[in-house]
């Protein structure tokens, strides 16, 4: 009995997802030390970081975005363009990219966050399409459809090279991102976001400035996306407008929903699902996409709350 | 000067005058009820007073300050809170979290502190939770504090909304059918709660269909019909007004009101 009570407490504890995630991060290089596996794992952490932005925007505040990859693209190209065209430090450009994405989100968010549901979805979709279009067509600056090379990132004098080092850098970034997302959830801001998710009129009735809170969530989400994009560009050493493409926005939304809307650990699981599974399914060759699609459908039918909240609820119902 | 003064309020929807020339005033500690047949414009009047609709004419003052057309989240800051006829509960949060959201205006942590999880946030959460638990106790829901709001019975949700509105520490509280759908025991509890709130110095504006409740706890009653004021006065005077009986109460309502007065 004592064991089950402890398990129930662990499942409910606020920082459990963070500790499990950190343990996983230490285990992966032990269990799968090849650089291929580490690169795939680093990609999972990067996409999870981008998707965490959507966890705050969609999962907490209930505001859909189908243009999130646009912010990933802005962050990625900031890290590509800054050093190549302006001679700036790549790390500084990662920060500037996040600031730029936040500023653009502020400007774009003010008018479009007045929209709700499907209308907001289409407006954000339009934003993502515009970013991808600009990255495609401004070839003199962005290199056009072929993309551009990205110079090496150095963290305070340490040049980040090799799969293992990138694995640790992306792990650190995701851990910080997850910590901040968990912090927001357990704060007055988090309560306000979850409140307006359920009823905007009642949230306003308690004194919450609904428009300002939505905008804050949108800006924070954009910053998450841009940092992830910057890391993606610097790790790959090459970036193309594909980073901002529409289907990429959909993948990010799918990660958040498959893993469990509003769940920080679920977001990581969702990212792993959509990054690792295609790698495992390559043996199926031309059936890969079909099987992936089928698996997504099966998971959504049997775990409609998403993987992590469904499993958590299963155990909590059976524990004291 | 009254606590809440509503003067010559009016709004039209596509040529239909939903509320037309309604004035009333509410004193601190008073229960002021608005009654009228379905479609009389009671909830529309609430929505005008609480800033959800922008009135096409008239004005609202609270403690002498003009509130007309202010956005709802700004009205709360100036002391006006309300509940909703169709429940507007945060169903994915627990009961105590619902009331904690109601404490939003008293919370002092910045967005940055919330993001970084500074110790001040944990302290604020503790203070807010204590306050919210106290309010849940006041409406008789302390034992359900950590239950999901989505799992609470209807009568409890009505009281939960009242607790959340009280969390804003309002000078005026507008209750839109707080006893609708409640059984006799729940209605009785809400009746005591409203009287208790008014005793605390809050001006209560009440929309209610339960005539027994209205006649028992109201200091004054305003009768609306087709968006216009039909009568206003003490419960007994209103109940005996022939126009009101014809327009709204009917025979059955009058008998029920009689019983309430014994």
Q: What is the tens place of the pLDDT at every residue in B23-73?
A: 999 999 999 999 988 888 999 999 999 999 999 999 999 999 999 989 999
Q: Is the CB of residue A96 less than 8 Å from the CB of residue A82? A: yes
The two beta strands, A238-239 and A148-149, are antiparallel
Count of beta carbons in the 10 Å neighbourhood of residue A215? 18
**Nearest chain B CA: its distance from A37 CA (Å):** 32
* Inter-chain touch B121–A207, beta carbons under 8 Å: no
- The Cα-based distances of A133 to A58, A71, A216, A238, A241 in angstroms read 25, 13, 26, 18, 8
Q: Retrieve residue A251's tokens.
A: 């993948």
In angstroms, the Cα distances linking A273 to A50, A247, A279, A292, B25 are: 15, 16, 10, 10, 61
Closest CB to B125 among A186, A205, A206: A186
Of A179, A186, A216, the CB nearest to B111: A216
Identify the closest residue of chain A to B122 by CA–CA distance.
A187
pLDDT at position B251 over 60? no
Average pLDDT estimate for A289-304: 87
In Å, how far is B225's CA from the nearest CA of chain A? 27
User: Nearest CA to CA, how far is B24 from chain A (Å)?
Assistant: 22
For tokens 């920080």, name the residue.
A264
Partners of residue B119 in chain A, C-beta under 8 Å: none
Predicted confidence (pLDDT) per residue in B198-248, tens digit: 999 999 999 998 888 899 999 999 999 888 999 899 999 988 888 887 776
Note whether A317 contacts B: Cβ–Cβ < 8 A.
no
Nearest CB among B88, B90, B121 relative to A187 is that of B121
B188 or B258, which is more confident? B188
pLDDT band at residue B146 under the 50/70/90 scheme: very high
Q: Cβ B115–A186 below 8 Å, yes or no?
A: no
Extract the tokens encoding B209: 């269909």
Mean pLDDT estimate for chain A: 92
| Interface probe with B: pick from A207, A211, A218, A262, most Cβ of B within 10 Å | A207
User: pLDDT band for position B250 (50/70/90)?
Assistant: low
Q: Which residue of A has its CA nearest to B123?
A: A187
Per-residue pLDDT at B83 exceeds 90:
yes
Tokens matching residue B200: 């605390």
| pLDDT for the residue A316 | 84
**Model confidence over A235-273: pLDDT tens digits?**
999 999 999 999 999 999 999 999 999 999 999 999 999
Question: For residue A313, what pLDDT is reported?
Answer: 87
Q: What is the DSSP letter of A242?
A: G
Fold topology of B1-79+170-262: Rossmann fold (3.40.50)
Least confident of A302-306, B136-140, B168-172: A302-306
Question: What 3-state DSSP class applies to B145?
Answer: coil
Pseudo-torsion of CA A226, A231, A236, A241, nearest 10°? Answer: 0
Contact A192 B109 (CB under 8 A): no
The residues near A220 (Cβ < 8 Å, ≥ 6 apart) are A53, A56, A57, A102, A184, B115
Q: Which residue has the higher pLDDT, A220 or A85?
A: A220
Q: Which DSSP letter does residue A1 get? A: -
Disruptive mutation site among B104, B119, B164 for chain A (greatest number of A CBs within 10 Å): B104
Q: Which two tokens stand for residue A310?
A: 């469904």
Q: pTM higher than 0.90, yes or no?
A: yes
In tens, the pLDDT along A155-200 reads 887 888 888 999 999 999 999 999 999 999 999 999 999 999 999 9
Q: Choose, out of B49, B53, B71, B73, the residue to mutate when testing the contact with A (most A CBs < 10 Å).
A: B73
Mean per-residue pLDDT, A289-293: 85
Q: What's the average model confidence in pLDDT over A97-111?
A: 97
Residues 191-250 of B with CB under 8 A from A: none
Element (H, E) at A247: helix A246-259
Q: What is the pLDDT of residue B257?
A: 62
pLDDT of residue A263: 94
Averaged pLDDT for residues A134-141: 90
- Which pLDDT belongs to residue A151? 87
Q: Which residue has the higher pLDDT, B61 or A280?
A: B61
Size of interface A-B (CB pairs under 8 A): 108
Residue B221's pLDDT is 94
Condensed to tens digits (0 to 9), the pLDDT of residues B95-125 reads: 999 999 999 999 999 999 999 999 999 999 9
d(CA A217, CA A190): 10
| Nearby residues of A70 by Cβ (< 8 Å), 6 or more positions away | A127, A128, A130, A131, A132, A225, A244, A249
Supply the range of the domain harboring residue A102. Answer: 2-318
Nearest residue in chain A measured CA to CA from B98: A195
Distance CA A88, CA A85 (A): 8
- Does the beta carbon of A206 lie under 8 angstroms from any beta carbon of chain B? yes
Residue B256 pLDDT level (bands cut at 50, 70, 90): low
Strand blocks (E) in chain B? 4-13, 16-26, 31-35, 57-62, 65-66, 80-82, 172-176, 203-207, 220-225, 228-233
Delimit the domains of chain B by residue range: 1-79+170-262, 94-169
- pLDDT of res. A14: 82
Domain count, chain A: 1
Note the ipTM here: 0.89
* pLDDT score recorded for residue B69: 86
pLDDT greater than 90 at residue B249: no
Average pLDDT over all residues of chain B: 90
């Amino acid at each position: 009995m004592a064991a089950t009570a402890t398990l129930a407490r662990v499942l409910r504890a606020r920082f459990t997802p963070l500790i499990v995630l950190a343990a996983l991060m230490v285990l992966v290089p032990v269990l799968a030390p090849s650089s291929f596996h580490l690169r795939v794992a680093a990609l999972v952490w990067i996409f999870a970081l981008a998707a965490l932005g959507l966890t705050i925007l969609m999962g907490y505040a209930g505001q859909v975005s189908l243009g999130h990859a646009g912010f990933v693209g802005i962050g990625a190209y900031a890290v590509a363009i800054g050093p190549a065209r302006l001679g700036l430090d790549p790390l500084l450009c990662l920060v500037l990219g996040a600031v730029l994405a936040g500023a653009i989100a502020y400007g774009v968010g003010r008018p479009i966050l007045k929209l709700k549901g499907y209308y907001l979805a289409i407006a954000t979709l339009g934003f993502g399409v515009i970013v991808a279009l600009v990255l495609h067509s401004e070839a003199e600056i962005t290199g056009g459809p072929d993309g551009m090379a990205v110079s090496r990132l150095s963290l305070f004098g340490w040049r980040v090279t090799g799969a293992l080092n990138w694995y640790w850098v992306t792990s650190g970034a995701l851990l910080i991102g997850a910590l901040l997302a968990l912090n927001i959830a357990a704060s007055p801001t988090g309560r306000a976001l979850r409140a307006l998710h359920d009823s905007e009129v009642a949230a306003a009735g308690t004194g919450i400035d609904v428009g300002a809170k939505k905008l804050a969530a949108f800006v924070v989400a954009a910053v998450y996306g841009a940092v992830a994009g910057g890391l993606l560009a610097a790790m790959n050493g090459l970036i193309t407008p594909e980073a901002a493409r529409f289907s990429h926005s959909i993948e990010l939304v799918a990660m958040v929903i498959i893993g469990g809307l509003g769940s920080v650990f679920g977001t990581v699981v969702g990212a792993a699902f959509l990054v690792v599974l295609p790698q495992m399914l390559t043996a199926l060759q031309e059936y890969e996409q079909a099987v992936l699609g089928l698996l997504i459908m099966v998971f959504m039918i049997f775990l409609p709350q998403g993987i992590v909240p469904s499993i958590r609820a299963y155990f909590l119902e059976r524990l004291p | 000067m009254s606590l809440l003064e509503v003067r010559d309020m009016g709004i039209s929807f596509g040529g239909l005058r939903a509320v037309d020339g309604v004035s009333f005033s509410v004193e601190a500690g008073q229960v002021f009820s608005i009654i009228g047949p379905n479609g009389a414009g009671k909830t529309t009047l609430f929505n005008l007073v609480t800033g959800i609709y922008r009135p096409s004419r008239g004005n609202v003052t609270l403690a002498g300050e003009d509130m007309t057309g202010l956005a709802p989240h700004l009205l709360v800051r100036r002391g006006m809170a309300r509940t909703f006829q169709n429940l507007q509960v945060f169903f994915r949060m627990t009961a105590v979290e619902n009331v904690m959201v109601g404490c939003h205006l008293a919370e002092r942590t910045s967005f940055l502190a919330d993001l970084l999880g500074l110790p001040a946030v944990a302290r604020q959460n503790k203070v807010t939770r204590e306050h919210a638990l106290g309010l849940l106790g006041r409406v008789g829901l302390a034992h359900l504090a950590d239950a999901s709001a989505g799992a609470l019975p209807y009568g409890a949700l009505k009281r939960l909304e009242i607790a959340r509105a009280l969390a804003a520490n309002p000078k005026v509280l507008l209750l839109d059918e707080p006893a609708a759908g409640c059984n006799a025991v729940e209605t009785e509890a809400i009746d005591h709660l409203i009287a208790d709130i008014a005793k605390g110095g809050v001006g209560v504006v009440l929309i209610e269909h339960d005539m027994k409740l209205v006649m028992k706890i109201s200091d004054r009653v305003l009768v609306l019909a087709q968006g216009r004021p039909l009568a206003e006065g003490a419960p007994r005077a209103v109940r005996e007004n022939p126009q009101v009986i014809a327009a709204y109460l009917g025979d059955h309502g009058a008998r029920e009101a009689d019983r309430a007065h014994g």
